[in-house]
Amino acid sequence: MKIRQFRYDADLVEVRRLWSESGPGVHLSPSDEPQEIQKKLEQDPDLFLVAEDDGNIMGTVLGGFDGRRGMVYHLAVKSAYRRKGIGTALMQELEARFRSKGCRKYYLLVQKQAQGAFEFYKKFGCEVMDLNLLGKRVP
């Protein structure tokens, strides 16, 4: 297995399919449309990673860094490859890249029904924060 940076032209279709088939926790939204992914790649392309073996994408994670805090989005591993360390390897690489940018803390959102993801992140050292999440779509 190799972890590498996402390549828009080669990976977009397969990565979006992986996200859409991942089950509870990863949902495609307007932010995941191709033109939005292109905008994301202008910010920090080195934080969009895929795990592959012989050209087959097995997993992906999308990170962001605003200069102060990091965000983790869309960690997804194909069901046939789960529980083989791919998600852990992707997170370890993303953390290393956060660290190299000076990021000292990152956040992630886990939907309540995604209990497996919740347990994964807790084992990874993430802690539940006592917060209210607010959001608004910008019209």
**Is residue 138 in a domain?**
no
CATH at 96:
3.40.630.30
Token digits of residue 27? 């949902």
**Is residue 91 in a domain?**
yes
Kindly report the pTM of this predicted structure.
Answer: 0.91
**Is residue 24 in a domain?**
yes
Share of the chain above pLDDT 90, in %: 66
Token digits of residue 106? 């990152």
Q: What residue numbers bound the domain in which 100 lies?
A: 2-123
**Is residue 134 in a domain?**
no
Q: Over the stretch 35-90, which tens digit does the pLDDT of each residue have?
A: 999 999 999 999 999 999 998 999 999 999 999 999 999 999 998 999 999 999 99
Q: How many domains does the chain have?
A: 1
**Is residue 16 in a domain?**
yes
**Is residue 130 in a domain?**
no
| DSSP string of the chain, one letter each residue | -EEEE--HHHHHHHHHHHHHTS-TT----GGGSHHHHHHHHHH-GGGEEEEEETTEEEEEEEEEE-SS-EEEEEEEE-GGGTTSSHHHHHHHHHHHHHHHTT---EEE---TT-HHHHHHHHHTT--------------
**Is residue 135 in a domain?**
no
**Is residue 46 in a domain?**
yes
